[in-house]
């Protein structure tokens, strides 16, 4: 950001930002996992709480289907009917046993995709939403780029291994994707569904599915997940859990003990961190600058999961544009600067700040009243 005001506001006392009494938790021993790559991420802020080779590019198997599902949901076609092609029926691997020519709602295909990991459902979804499997893969990679999944490349909608290493991602990127998807209410509903039944065209009985994600049945705080397995990728798993105000995401790649690892990571996260509100939406108080006082605002809350030690030693800094020489700003930059939350030299979060000008005062007095009466007589609307 150009022409930042010299850091005259550095090290703002966190006392005016933090609540006076923060819950304290005892330090918890570090957790370990069997996975080749693993991450524990806060769903609200995106803060990484645990990491193990989180940027390592790896095969991801069927957790790919989180991307397939969110694109289907965002397509606006969930209530439309899909005619199943021979291409979808012929897809190898896990299946919901679709039949060529049958008709089924896109919404039900997404349930089959997420609960039973149907590869045939993935191809049918791709053909409906993207026009073809290749067209859908383009949409997948486009969305990945938009989300900042910099170490990801998709080559199919289901996650099956190809001859070459062209379908891959990282634990970090898949956590980013899950963080985004969990903002969608319909995705959250499907993600945590344990059982689902759908009518089956041409049959007197419905298809009935039970979710493959065992954490939904074993772990009280589970809010959803997606399993994956191929011979090359081995076991992959995405899961989410919530307790009190803390919502967490765990991703493990190539993990032979993933159910246990996910529960251990969640339990460690819940014991070690408290969700702490650092900045409330609205006017920022405690500003000494005459130019910025009563004009500096945050457009959203800033909350972070923090340990006991972090809460004790937290600090904030501000970088703001230098005020104009004439002391007036007709069109201030947006945002006007940023607030940085730090623990020692480590930056934990950033928050954009905005400059709000006071509203213009309405004109009052004899001539204003005369103008209104005169123009009203001419039937001209006046907006002061």
Q: Check pLDDT > 50 for residue 380.
A: no
Strand order in the sheet with 48-52: 48-52, 37-42, 246-253, 234-243, 222-230
Q: Choosing from 45, 62, 94, 239, which is the catalytic residue?
A: 62
In tens, the pLDDT along 193-230 reads: 999 999 988 888 899 999 999 999 999 999 999 999 99
Q: In this predicted model, what pLDDT tens digit does every residue of 232-288 receive, in sequence order?
A: 999 999 999 999 999 999 999 999 999 999 999 999 999 999 999 989 999 888 888
Active site residue 62: yes
Residue 124 is predicted with a pLDDT of 98
pLDDT (0 to 100) of residue 370: 54
What are the beta bridge partners of residue 51? 39
Q: Distances from the Cα of 148 to the Cαs of 8, 143, 358, in angstroms?
A: 33, 9, 37
Checking if the pLDDT of 24 tops 50, the result is no
pLDDT at residue 369 above 70? no
- Among 94, 117, 155, 239, the one annotated catalytic: 117
Name all domains of the chain by residue range, CATH numbers in brackets.
Answer: 1-25+274-384 (2.30.140.30), 37-272 (3.40.710.10)
pTM: 0.83
pLDDT band at 328 (very low <50, low <70, confident <90, very high): confident
Question: What is the pLDDT, as a whole number, of residue 293?
Answer: 84
| 65 catalytically annotated | yes
Percent of the chain with pLDDT over 70: 85
pLDDT at position 26? 45
- Maximum separation of any 2 CA atoms in the chain, in Å: 85
- Residue 222's pLDDT is 98
Task: Average the pLDDT over 148-174 and give the result.
Answer: 96
Helix orientation angle between 119-130 and 106-116, rounded to the nearest 10 degrees: 140
* pLDDT given at position 295: 84
Q: What residues contact 384, with CB distance under 8 A and at least 6 apart? A: 362, 363, 368, 372
86-140 residue pLDDT tens: 999 999 999 999 999 999 999 999 999 999 999 999 999 999 999 999 999 999 9
Q: Do 121 and 112 contact (CB within 8 A), yes or no?
A: yes
Which range among 48-62, 243-257, 339-353 shows the weakest confidence by mean pLDDT? 339-353
| Active-site choice (65, 107, 143, 226) | 65
Cis peptide leading into residue 335 (ω within 30°): yes
Give me the pLDDT at residue 240, please. 98
DSSP character string of 115-167:
HH--HHHHHHHHHHHHSSHHHHHHHHHHHHHHTT-TT-B-SSSS----SSS-S
The rounded Cα 224 to chain-centroid distance in angstroms is 14
């Amino acid at each position: 950001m150009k022409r930042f005001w010299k850091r005259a506001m550095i090290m703002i006392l966190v006392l005016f930002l933090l609540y006076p009494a923060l819950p304290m938790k005892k330090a918890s021993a570090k957790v370990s996992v069997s996975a080749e790559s693993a991450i524990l991420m806060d769903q609200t802020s995106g803060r990484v709480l645990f990491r193990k080779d989180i940027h390592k590019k790896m095969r991801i198997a069927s957790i790919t289907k989180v991307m397939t599902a969110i694109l289907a949901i965002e397509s606006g076609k969930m209530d439309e009917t899909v005619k199943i092609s021979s291409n979808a029926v012929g897809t190898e691997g896990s299946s919901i046993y679709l039949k060529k020519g049958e008709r089924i709602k896109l919404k039900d295909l997404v349930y089959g995709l997420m609960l039973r990991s149907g590869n045939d459902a993935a191809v049918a979804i791709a053909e409906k939403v993207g026009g073809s499997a290749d067209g859908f893969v383009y949409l997948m990679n486009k969305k990945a780029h938009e989300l900042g999944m910099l170490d990801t490349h998709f080559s199919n909608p289901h996650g099956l291994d190809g001859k070459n290493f062209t379908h891959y991602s990282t634990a970090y990127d898949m956590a980013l994707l899950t963080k985004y998807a969990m903002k969608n209410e319909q995705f959250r509903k499907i993600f945590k569904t344990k059982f689902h039944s759908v009518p089956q065209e041409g049959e007197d009985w419905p298809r009935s599915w039970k979710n493959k994600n065992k954490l939904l049945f074993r772990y009280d705080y589970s809010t959803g997940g997606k399993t994956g397995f191929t011979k090359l990728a081995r076991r992959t798993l995405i899961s989410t859990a919530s307790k009190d105000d803390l919502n967490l995401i765990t991703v493990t790649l190539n993990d032979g003990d993933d159910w246990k690892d996910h529960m251990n990571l969640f339990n460690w996260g819940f014991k070690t961190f408290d969700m702490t509100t650092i900045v409330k939406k609205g006017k920022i108080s405690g500003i000494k600058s005459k130019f910025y006082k009563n004009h500096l605002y945050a457009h959203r809350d800033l909350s972070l999961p923090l340990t006991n030690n972090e809460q004790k030693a937290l600090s904030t800094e501000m970088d703001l544009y230098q005020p104009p020489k004439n002391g007036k700003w007709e069109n201030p930059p947006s945002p006007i600067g940023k607030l940085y939350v730090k623990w020692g030299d480590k930056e934990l979060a950033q928050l954009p700040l905005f400059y709000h000008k006071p509203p213009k005062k309405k004109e009052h007095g004899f001539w204003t009243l005369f103008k209104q009466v005169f123009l009203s007589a001419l039937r001209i609307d006046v907006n002061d």
